[in-house]
Amino acid sequence: MLKLIKDLKSLWYLDIVRRNKKTPLFVFISFLITFLISRLFANYWIKLSLVISEYHIHHFYYGFALLFISAWIALVTNKETMYDLSAILLGIGSGLVVDEIGLLLTCTSNGKICNYTSRATFDIIVITIGILLLILYSGPFIRFLKRRIIRSSPSSQS
């Protein structure tokens, strides 16, 4: 167990801190956790909904508010802890908005049937996770490819 903790600590330093990827990691983790929790709550567990005089307030509104707060914090601060908070709020807000993106895209007029679980939600979540992973790991992957290409090039073999 102690070796696992040392390995994780080493991985955290080498892969995240040294490459200055702490903020994207916080965004990715908070995005993923928020999306999964909101999807589980909306589909399988408790139907939490806020209704104000016959208007159903969906959770993408909370997401938009958190995106706004996150941007404001990032603009007005110069403290690292506030940047971390901004990154976490950005991930949570994005997770809430992306969770209901199918509803936002299909519920555009009175004649359409709103589809909370549309294919667009799946596509956008996969694309978003891919982009966040690309931001986190594109540098090491490109360096790995360069080493492999240089190692296998004809000029290096002679």
The whole-angstrom separation of Cα 122 and Cα 102 is 8
Question: How many domains does the structure of the chain reveal?
Answer: 1
Q: Which of 31, 26, 34, 32 is nearest to 136 (CA)?
A: 26
16 within some domain: no
Residue 143 lies in a domain: no
118 φ, ψ to 5°?
Answer: -70, 165
* Per-residue model confidence as pLDDT tens digits over 112-152: 667 777 777 788 888 888 888 887 777 777 777 777 777 76
Percent of the chain with pLDDT over 70: 75
Q: What is the pTM of this model?
A: 0.71
For residue 11, tell me if it sits in a domain.
no
Tell me whether residue 1 is in a domain: no
Residue 61 structural domain: 23-136
Asked whether residue 50 is domain-assigned, the answer is yes
- Residue 68 is assigned to a structural domain of this protein: yes
Count the neighbouring beta carbons within 10 Å of the beta carbon of residue 137. 15
Axis-axis angle for helices 80-99, 59-76 (nearest 10)? 160
